[in-house]
Amino acid sequence: MTDKYTQFVSSGLGKELARKLGLPQPVVLRRHAPGQPLVPGPVLVQGDTRGADELASALLSWDLDVRRHAVPREKLGAIVVVLDELVHPVDLEKPVLAAAASLRDLAPSARVVTLSRTPASAAAPAVSAAREGVHGLLRSLAKELRAGATANGIVLADGVNTTTPSTLGALRFFLSGRSAFVDGQLLTVTSGSGSPPDDVERPLAGKVAVVTGAARGIGAAIARTLHRDGATVVAVDVPAAGDHLAAVANEVRGTALQLDITGADAGNRIIGHAVERHGRLDIVVHNAGITRDKLLANMDPSRWSSVIGVNIAAQLRINDALLASEHFRSAPRIVSVASTSGIAGNRGQTNYAASKAGVMGMVRATAPFLATSGGTINAVAPGFIETEMTARIPFATREIARRLNSLQQGGRPGDVAEAIAFLASDAAGGISGEILRVCGQNMVGA
């Protein structure tokens, strides 16, 4: 669905009118397009640690225009703040305020990315306080940026450096137009695993990916994006969606599998189809989901059980089959679609929120079981995304939901798909058990 208000206030008379009336002024976001520059200008790398020096050298190999010192009034495409050696909260002042001096020089749709270390691994209270402090300042900064700029953070486990494959993979994702609707988020790199893509435009070349709920909306966008990135796609949906499913499968030159994912044999049927038709299975995207909204006081067993059955119980059952299969042991990837409703809750969605919070719990608990085969499991949690479902929300409610995030607009199905494609790639091999929100930094809840 088109957000006509955002289009109207992005230029000319609409922009001036919104400014005079004090109305929200969302801008058209910079999204990924083949051949597009990674960032809209030079990249300033702030920090005086060895990790900052090594990262700056790595970025030079990407043919970026890298700065180690700011040039006054030069428009910047990104600021990368390296905070990997903090030992006390007072250590934040120098690098953070140095970066702050360049914030007014950010180009439209620019990026700010912090690199810091995980607080959980810090023994000393002062070290942990400093590291946790980065999270608070990052989330606050994301709410201050304008003109489509975003701020996100990469959190490194101890022993992981600033140039490991997944650190660089996460940085490329956050700098690029692929992360247009990801804002105020922190992504932890837990290990040095992963590998850079041979072709940054086709990082999934040679992979076979299954996408459930692929007939429409976000699922169809995921199938298209994985295909664009080089994967062979198996599109899965219920028989009732057969025509739409076939159209998507044909569009992405993949195959269609009509399947009720709640069936006891769903996992084995998915594996069998992928292996028989394509010779392998590398990626499974659990996208299928339903809503049956009702206040809990009015909730009936059918509404409750159907949502739990599709949204989480089916994923658990399919994952059991995947983990037991000899065909899913070569650095496999599982990516699940959760929801911000599972984080913040939502009136009338106790069943849905329980199922989506359950997805997040499943992801965190399953990660160790995949590690032995070099595999990962992660989830994305979309916020307000422009789909056929949200188009049916009453106008006033829809407009409020659109504007209630730092970017003051709804996301697109492709925004969710871009995050999933990154997490499914080899470049994300050191990232597992993570929940990445794709919500424009929704201001409700966590």
Residue positions annotated with a catalytic role: 352
Angle at 421 between CA 416 and CA 426, to 5 degrees: 150
- Cα 213 to chain centroid distance, Å, stands at 18
DSSP 8-state secondary structure symbol assigned to residue 430:
T
Q: How far apart are CA 151 and CA 253, in angstroms?
A: 36
> How many C-beta neighbours within 10 Å does residue 171 have?
28
Q: How far apart are CA 268 and CA 344, in angstroms?
A: 34
Q: How far apart are CA 339 and CA 360, in angstroms?
A: 9
Q: How far apart are CA 85 and CA 272, in angstroms?
A: 48
Residue 280 phi, psi dihedral angles, 5° rounding: -170, 175
Question: If you write DSSP's letter for every residue of 22-79 in order, what string do you get?
Answer: T-----------TT--SSSS-EEEE--SHHHHHHHHHHHTTT--EESS--TT--EEEE
Q: How far apart are CA 76 and CA 67, in angstroms?
A: 9
Those residues whose C-beta lies under 8 Å from the C-beta of residue 32, and which sit 6 or more positions away, are: 176, 177, 178, 180, 418
Question: If you write DSSP's letter for every residue of 246-315 in order, what string do you get?
Answer: HHHHHHTT-EEEE--TTSTTHHHHHHHHHHHHHS---EEEE---------GGG--HHHHHHHHIIIIIHH
Give the C-alpha distances (Å, rounded to integers) separating 384 from 5, 205, 388, 394, 443: 16, 31, 12, 14, 11
Those residues whose C-beta lies under 8 Å from the C-beta of residue 87, and which sit 6 or more positions away, are: 124, 126, 127, 130
Residues 80 and 43: beta-carbon distance below 8 Å: yes
